[in-house]
Amino acid sequence: MSDFQIKEAPEVYDVIIIGSGAGGGMAAYELTKAGAKVCLLEAGQHYDPADPKYITQLKWPYQSPRRGASTRYRPFGDFDAAYGGWDIEGEPYTTKGDTKFRWFRSRMLGGRTNHWGRISLRFGPQDFKRYSIDGLGEDWPIGYEDVAPFYDEVDRLIGVFGTNENLPNDPDSIFLPAPKPRLHEMMLLKSNKNLGITTIPSRLSILTKPINDERGVCFYCKQCNRACVAYADFSSSSCLCKPASKTKNMDTIYYAMAREVLTDTKTGLATGVSYVDTLTLEEKTVRGKIVILAASACESARLLLNSKSARFPDGLANSSGVVGKYLHDSTGASRGGIVPALFDRKRYNEDGVGGMHVYSPWWLDNKKLDFPRGYHIEYWGGMGMPAYGFGWGIEDTNGMFADRNGNKKGGRRLWRFVERRLSPLLWRIHWYGRPR
């Protein structure tokens, strides 16, 4: 390319943050509040759930040309607040050998927090000391008591509902009032009590009471996956990036796919970020004194591996050679069933928050079981607005259906363990990671 040139912005920022999801948004919020001049690089587009351009909340299926069905770029349906997917143009990836890994990525302000489940649980004291308990993995060098004050601060900031239960490994918090269980959840509470399965109100970051003037309160439309016009659900875009921008201390660059962290040859310190403008495919550089990688776990590892130089031939922060290895995913499985006792009941609005009102934290004693750690169970069911398709729509109309979704708790060698190594070769040949 004869006319290829790298465009460099003149300003030197205090901090450059790559990615605006849960991690990047929190860094942006805190740093801009403290007065730092920040540049936020986001590979995806702008998003504001209250901007009419993006609103899908409370829309009827017939208001979508596809009746709400999904597309490659809207994988959870036309109304869902997830822009991205498993298969993103220009961003291929490989897996090692015959291993399988489906990598879901969001490409938008706020990353995956726009459509996540808002389940906001803390690590418990045992989660920091697992090796001491079951001999698997490693103990953390810190304990629950070290992070508890920060959990408190975050829970106050984002607003989490729940109840204090004094459970050994599911710590209490500063909770907002929890919504009442609905009929199918009352039935679950009753039967689980008989079975000895601990079942308690959910812990979701949804406002059931006002916490500030910027965000409204939940009006129970059951559609958090579409994101909330009232900002009553937590997302990084609405609750962190938006206030950070308001400070005027932050410039956000959209469609900016970071390619590499640039470093000073003498000191080895970061000097900026090279990124590709995904609309024009131009390569650009932004300069800063500090660079924060918050592009999600796999993508941040890719960036480190791709940031090679004479001083860092294996990539940045990779002298140990473990960057991109030992990635661990959380897995889930679900089961559903018809509850005859719910047949022929009166129709009424059974919407609630955008998620389950009760759940079961891990309740059994692992010493008596042949596997370590555990899982939690999320319960779904009840009546709701019918949607496109069968399996996620029509069964909601009569409320006879109940579903259990078991989510495994993190732990090595637990039922399925995803261990792979990112393939630097492939990363380096696609658009946004060109070889140097």
- Interface ranges with ligand FAD (CB under 6 A): 18-24, 41-44, 104, 106-108, 111-113, 115-119, 256-258, 294-296, 299, 303
**In 3D, which of 72, 43, 2 has the Cα closest to residue 433?**
43
Select the binding partner of residue 238 from ligand FAD, ligand SF4, none (C-beta < 5 to 8 A, by kind).
none
Q: How far is the CB of 383 from ligand FAD (least distance, A)?
A: 23
Select the binding partner of residue 117 from ligand SF4, ligand FAD, none (C-beta < 5 to 8 A, by kind).
ligand FAD
Binding site for ligand SF4 (CB under 6 A): 57, 206, 218-224, 228, 230, 232-233, 353-354
Closest-approach residue to ligand FAD (CB): 21
**Residue 381 vs 433, nearer CB to ligand FAD:** 433
Task: Give dist(CA 100, CA 81) in Å, integer.
Answer: 26
Contact 50, 60 (CB under 8 A): no
Q: How far is the CB of 188 from ligand FAD (least distance, A)?
A: 19
Q: How far is the CB of 216 from ligand SF4 (least distance, A)?
A: 8
Q: How far is the CB of 260 from ligand FAD (least distance, A)?
A: 9
Select the binding partner of residue 222 from ligand FAD, ligand SF4, none (C-beta < 5 to 8 A, by kind).
ligand SF4
**Residue 158 vs 402, nearer CB to ligand FAD:** 158
**Residue 134 vs 351, nearer CB to ligand SF4:** 351
**Residue 31 vs 43, nearer CB to ligand FAD:** 43
Contact 38, 31 (CB under 8 A): yes
**Residue 229 vs 261, nearer CB to ligand SF4:** 229
**Residue 226 vs 420, nearer CB to ligand SF4:** 226
Q: How far is the CB of 356 from ligand SF4 (least distance, A)?
A: 12
Q: How far is the CB of 35 from ligand FAD (least distance, A)?
A: 23
Q: How far is the CB of 10 from ligand FAD (least distance, A)?
A: 21
**Residue 43 vs 353, nearer CB to ligand SF4:** 353
**Residue 308 vs 399, nearer CB to ligand FAD:** 308
Select the binding partner of residue 18 from ligand FAD, ligand SF4, none (C-beta < 5 to 8 A, by kind).
ligand FAD
Select the binding partner of residue 22 from ligand SF4, ligand FAD, none (C-beta < 5 to 8 A, by kind).
ligand FAD
**Residue 221 vs 358, nearer CB to ligand SF4:** 221
Angle at 341 between CA 335 and CA 342, to 5 degrees: 75
Select the binding partner of residue 218 from ligand FAD, ligand SF4, none (C-beta < 5 to 8 A, by kind).
ligand SF4
Select the binding partner of residue 42 from ligand SF4, ligand FAD, none (C-beta < 5 to 8 A, by kind).
ligand FAD
Q: How far is the CB of 139 from ligand FAD (least distance, A)?
A: 22
Select the binding partner of residue 244 from ligand FAD, ligand SF4, none (C-beta < 5 to 8 A, by kind).
none
Task: Give dist(CA 68, CA 12) in Å, integer.
Answer: 44
Select the binding partner of residue 111 from ligand FAD, ligand SF4, none (C-beta < 5 to 8 A, by kind).
ligand FAD
Select the binding partner of residue 384 from ligand SF4, ligand FAD, none (C-beta < 5 to 8 A, by kind).
none
3-state SS string over the chain? Answer: CCCCCCEEEEEEEEEEEECCCHHHHHHHHHHHHCCCCEEEECCCECCCCCCCCCCCCCCCHHHCCCCCCCCCCCCCCCCCCCCEECCCCCCCCCCCCCCCCCCCEECECCHHHHCCCCECCCCCHHHHCHHHHHCCCCCCCCCHHHHHHHHHHHHHHHCCECCCCCCCCCCCCCCECCCCCCHHHHHHHHHHHHHCCCCEECCECECCCCCCCCCCCCCCCCCHHHCCCCCCECCHHHHHHHHHHHCCCEEEECCEEEEEEEECCCCCCEEEEEEEECCCCCEEEEEEEEEEECCCHHHHHHHHHHCCCCCCCCCCCCCCCCCCCCCCCCCEEEEEEECHHHCCCCCCCCCCCCCCCEEECCCCCHHHCCCCCCEEEEEEECCCCCCCCCCCCHHHHCCCEEEEEEEECCCCCCCCCCCCCCCHHHHHHCHHHCCC
Contact 176, 199 (CB under 8 A): no
